[in-house]
Amino acid sequence: MMKQLHKSSPTHAPSSAHAPAPKAAKPARPGPRSWLGYVLREQRLLFVLLGALIASTFFLLRPYLSLSPSSQYPDHRPLFSFASHSRVPAGFRPPPRRVVVTGGVGFVGSHLVDRLLEQGDSVIVVDNFFTGRKANVAHHLRNPRFELLRHDVVDPILLEVDRIYHLACPASPVHYKYNPIKTIISFLPGSAEGGRGSANCGENAGVRSCYDEGKRTAETLTMDYHRGGGVEVRIARIFNTYGPRMCLDDGRVVSNFVAQALRKQPMTVYGDGKQTRSFQYVSDLVAGLMALMESDHIGPFNLGNPGEFTMLELAQVVKETIDPMATIEFKPNTADDPHMRKPDITKAKQLLHWEPKVPLKEGLPLMVTDFRQRILDE
């Protein structure tokens, strides 16, 4: 009876121990609001935006970070290859450097600046604008890796750089005779151009001695700094170089002949015209300078074209290039003018694997195009 009453009692709640387990609820699928809440919590949105900004910056700057060369020469011709003239393997480019080029708005210096910027270096040009022109580097003024300082190298300057190319000395007789004392001083900070040691350095020193002896003094001091102070140095002896951006009236034979022929003036030949010179196009010289800098050899190295032309032969090439009707005018020879100038580049060929590539009949028309435009703008 007690058992029956217990079963039939409607007010007696079942024991929790015997209650059936509730069914597990299915998780709700996240909707747009839940996703938005997830992103907004714990500054997740900030990290998402930061990642997008970093990725965008990388892709925007990628073209500027590339070190693949692009031609910036006025003639747009790949006249030389950096990799083929140095010990750096082809296809590989050295890391960017901070480089100073003294005389960098000048003829040779501005072409060197072009090449250094092409390979990804940052370049500081130091120049007093005595013979150089700002127009020679105007195409780099907006480049963030290019700086231009108007400064005379005979005065001290403090810069933190990886390399220095010292080209800040007038090479033309018209210019270096203007202030001979300053000419010899300007050589002293670095490497020099050079000939065969034919300077008149006797009791009655010639008018070229400021230039010739300046080169010797520069090489001596350079080696003394290397031996005594452990300074890493390279010495180049540069021979006659021609090309775009030369001074129109600097008194050197190629620029003289080209400017005179374009202006319909007689080409001036000094002496009998049988004295010889060698002529290298500026891109060949730049390739040699860079090959020397990348090498483990100090030098000195002669950088020039061993091919010889007499003054009369050069005048004939200019006539053929510019004006077959051009005439020649003979004048007395200048003092201390070397009768022969021909570089021996055997050492450069063996140790730097460098030699000139551009023949005169290819390089001269490129120079003529540049001179013709500048003479028309006069």
Show which residues are catalytic: 211
Closest alpha carbon to 147 in 93, 102, 191, 82: 102
Beta carbons of 103 and 150 less than 8 angstroms apart:
no
- Cis peptide leading into residue 63 (ω within 30°): no
Q: Tokens in use for 152?
A: 């005379």
Specify the 3-state DSSP secondary structure of 213.
Answer: helix
Backbone angles phi and psi of 309, in degrees to 5: -130, 135
CA distance 283 to 292: 14
Q: How many CA atoms lie within 13 A of 14 on its CB side?
A: 5
Closest alpha carbon to 354 in 304, 300, 308: 304
Q: Position 373: which residue type?
A: Q
The number of residues in the chain equals: 378
Contacts of 206 (CB under 8 A, 6+ apart): 199, 200, 335, 336
* Dihedral angle sign, alpha carbons of residues 62, 67, 70, 73: positive
Closest alpha carbon to 168 in 108, 228, 208: 108
CA distance 364 to 240: 13
* Cα→Cα distances 115→67, 132, 140, 171, 296, Å: 12, 18, 12, 21, 21
Count the neighbouring beta carbons within 10 Å of the beta carbon of residue 205.
15
Closest alpha carbon to 108 in 20, 238, 19: 238
